[in-house]
């Protein structure tokens, strides 16, 4: 075999053996680089006589072309192999469900959802939202609200008390959100229109009672506020909240220490195989208590009952959430079970609005 044929065979073997593009580039430099073996042969052409060049030129140029062609072919082969390897490792299963964006994976608890719904409905009627502490004084939770010392309601509520302070007074976990109304009346002048959603506590625990639960109360104080206004507000609320065009309501006389007169409110419903539908049927369901604010409460909160009057109502948020969304048991509300919250929870970006729909 001639020297040229020998060199070609060696280079082509090296090209075939190059296992990646870096190794192939090293073979190219060794052959066709500045001081490569093929370049050295090409340089000898310049020093040859015309006859020598005629005799050896085609073989040397043929070597260069053969090496270039083999390099190009090997480069393509390596590129294809690298792509095949990537395609084999980076597999994509197009049958998998689309993953939710991080902003969509959380769920809004039904209590938070219902508080957002209530807030949207009452904000539309001009109500502000007021908040206050969960730990209250006996004075704000009972005394100012016309529950005198020793009043049976103080025991009836089964209050969680803290240990007495040196002066004998005891802090407690509020048993209703009413102390926030007291704080509102003491802090701002009428007209007052507020709702107070929040946590409340009573020592009570069974299928339908948890020691911590949620209430929303409403308070309106002005010079001429009367039960007619209250009935309209409650009817508007019930229609908007239960998302029905009409709902019959029934007002029954009742008793609360902080209102006089006091009423309990039932709404029309139909019970159908364990399901409840509102705004139709012949059945009644109690949903809230209300009344005209007792003159003693107004006085205790710095308002003159001869100048101002108002009404208030209170209802259980947990209960109306269960009714609206068909949840049979209260206890899982507060057990932080991911399966329950994924089933009953609400999508975070579907914020309830009156225009956009409360729960759709
Ligand atoms: C119920 C009944 C009610 C109120 C709450 C209230 C607050 C003040 C003055 C007068 Cl500061 N009243 N709140 C009035 C009537 C009923 O709640 O059954 N709640 C679950």
Give me ligand 1 centre to Cα 108, in Å.
28
pLDDT at 343 over 80: yes
Atom of ligand 1 nearest to the CA of 301: 11
- pLDDT, mean of residues 341-360: 85
Q: How far is the CA of 293 from the centre of ligand 1 (A)?
A: 9
Which DSSP state fits 112? H
pLDDT of residue 153: 64
Which pLDDT does position 344 carry in this prediction? 93
**pLDDT given for residue 225 in this prediction:** 96
Cβ(182) – ligand 1 distance below 6 Å: yes
From the CB of 352, is ligand 1 less than 6 Å away? Answer: no
Cα–ligand 1 centroid distance for 312 (angstroms):
6
Residue 277: its pLDDT value, please?
85
For a substitution probing ligand 1, which of 220, 290, 298, 315 has the most ligand atoms within 8 Å of its CB? Answer: 290
- Residue 318: count of CB within 10 angstroms of its CB: 22
Strands (E), the chain: 128-129, 135-137, 171-173, 192-201, 212-222, 249-256, 259-272, 275-278, 283-293, 309-316
**Tens digits of per-residue pLDDT, 2-31?**
788 898 999 999 999 999 999 999 999 999
* Interval between CA 217 and ligand 1 midpoint (Å): 6
Kindly report, residue by residue over 153-192, the tens digit of the pLDDT: 676 557 899 998 999 888 999 999 999 999 999 999 999 9
Alpha carbon of residue 84 to chain centroid: 42
Task: Output the CA 218–ligand 1 centroid distance in Å.
Answer: 8
Taking a C-beta distance cutoff of 8 angstroms, is the pair 78, 20 a contact?
yes
Q: What is the chain's mean pLDDT, rounded? A: 91
Ligand 1 lined by 293 (C-beta under 6 Å): yes
Residues of the chain with pLDDT > 70, as a percent, come to 98
| Residues 337-346, mean pLDDT to the nearest whole number | 92
Distance in Å, CA 10 to ligand 1 centroid: 99
Q: Is any atom of ligand 1 closer than 6 Å to the C-beta of 141?
A: no
Q: Alpha-carbon torsion 275, 280, 286, 290, what sign?
A: positive
Pocket flag, ligand 1, residue 287 (CB < 6 Å): no
**19-21-24 Cα angle (round to 5):** 75
Q: From the alpha carbon of 316, which atom of ligand 1 is closest?
A: 20
Ligand 1 centre to CA of 178 (Å) is 7
Instruction: For ligand 1, pick from 143, 180, 265, 289 the residue to mutate: most ligand atoms within 8 Å of CB.
Output: 289
Q: Are 352 and 114 spatial neighbours (Cβ–Cβ below 8 Å)?
A: no
Q: Which one of 177, 258, 265, 285 would you pick to mutate in the ligand 1 pocket, going by the greatest count of ligand atoms within 8 A of its CB?
A: 258
How far is it, in rounded angstroms, from Cα 143 to Cα 121?
Answer: 31
Per-residue exposure over 95-125, b if at least 16 CB sit within 10 Å of its own CB, e if not: eeeeeeeeeeeebbbbbbbbbbbbbbbbeee
pLDDT of residue 65: 92
Give the Cα separation of 53 and 61 in Å (integer): 11
Is 181 near ligand 1, meaning CB less than 6 Å away? yes
Q: Tell me the pairing of strands 212-222 and 192-201.
A: antiparallel
Q: With contact defined as beta carbons under 8 Å apart, do 168 and 155 qualify?
A: no
- Is 277 strand, coil or helix? strand
Nearest CA to ligand 1 atom 5: 314
Cβ of 159 below 6 Å from ligand 1: no
User: What's the residue count for the chain?
Assistant: 360
Lowest mean pLDDT among 86-100, 259-273, 336-350: 86-100
pLDDT tens by residue, 23-50: 999 999 999 999 999 898 889 888 888 8
**Residue pLDDT, tens place only, 63-76:** 899 999 999 999 99
- Per residue in 303-333, pLDDT (tens digit) is 999 999 999 999 999 999 988 898 888 889 9
Task: Give the 3-state DSSP-derived string for 195-262, with helices as H, strands as E and coil as C.
Answer: EEEEEEECCCCECCECCEEEEEEEEEEECCCCHHHHHHHHHHHHHHHHCCCCCCEEEEEEEECCEEEE
Residue 132: predicted pLDDT: 97
What pLDDT, on the 0 to 100 scale, is given for residue 157? 53
CB within 8 A of 110, min separation 6: which ones? 321, 325, 327, 333, 344, 345, 346
User: Over the stretch 111-122, which tens digit does the pLDDT of each residue have?
Assistant: 999 999 999 999
């Amino acid at each position: 075999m001639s020297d040229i044929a020998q060199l070609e065979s060696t280079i082509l073997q090296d090209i075939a053996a190059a296992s990646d593009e870096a190794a192939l580039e090293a073979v190219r430099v060794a052959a066709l680089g500045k001081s490569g073996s093929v370049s050295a042969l090409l340089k000898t052409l310049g020093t040859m006589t015309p006859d020598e060049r005629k005799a050896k030129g085609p073989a040397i140029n043929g070597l260069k072309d053969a090496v270039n062609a083999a390099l190009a072919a090997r480069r393509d082969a390596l590129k294809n192999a690298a792509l095949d390897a990537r395609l084999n490792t980076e597999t994509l299963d197009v049958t998998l469900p689309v993953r939710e964006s991080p902003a969509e994976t959380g769920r809004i608890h039904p209590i938070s959802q219902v508080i957002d719904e209530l807030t949207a409905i009452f904000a539309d009627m001009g109500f502000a939202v007021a908040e206050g502490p969960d730990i209250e004084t006996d004075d704000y939770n009972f005394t100012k609200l016309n529950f005198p010392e020793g009043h049976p309601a103080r025991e009836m509520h089964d209050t969680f008390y803290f240990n007495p302070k040196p002066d004998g007074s005891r802090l407690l976990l509020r048993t209703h959100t009413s102390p926030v109304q007291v704080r509102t009346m003491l802090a701002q002048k009428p007209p007052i229109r507020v709702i107070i959603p929040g946590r409340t506590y009573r020592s009570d625990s069974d299928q339908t009672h948890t020691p911590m639960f949620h209430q929303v109360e409403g308070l309106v104080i002005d010079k001429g506020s009367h039960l007619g206004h209250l009935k309209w507000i409650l009817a508007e609320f019930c229609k908007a909240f239960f998302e029905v065009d009409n709902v019959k309501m029934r007002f029954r006389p009742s008793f609360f220490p902080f209102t006089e007169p006091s009423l309990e409110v039932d709404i029309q419903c139909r019970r159908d195989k364990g399901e409840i539908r509102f705004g139709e049927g012949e059945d009644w369901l109690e949903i809230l208590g209300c009344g005209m604010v007792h003159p003693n409460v107004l006085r205790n909160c710095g308002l003159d009952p001869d100048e101002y009057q108002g009404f208030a109502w209170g209802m259980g948020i947990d209960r109306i959430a269960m009714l609206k969304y068909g949840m049979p048991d209260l206890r899982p509300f507060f057990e932080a079970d991911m399966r329950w919250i994924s089933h009953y929870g609400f999508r975070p970006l579907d914020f309830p609005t009156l225009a956009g729909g409360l729960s759709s």
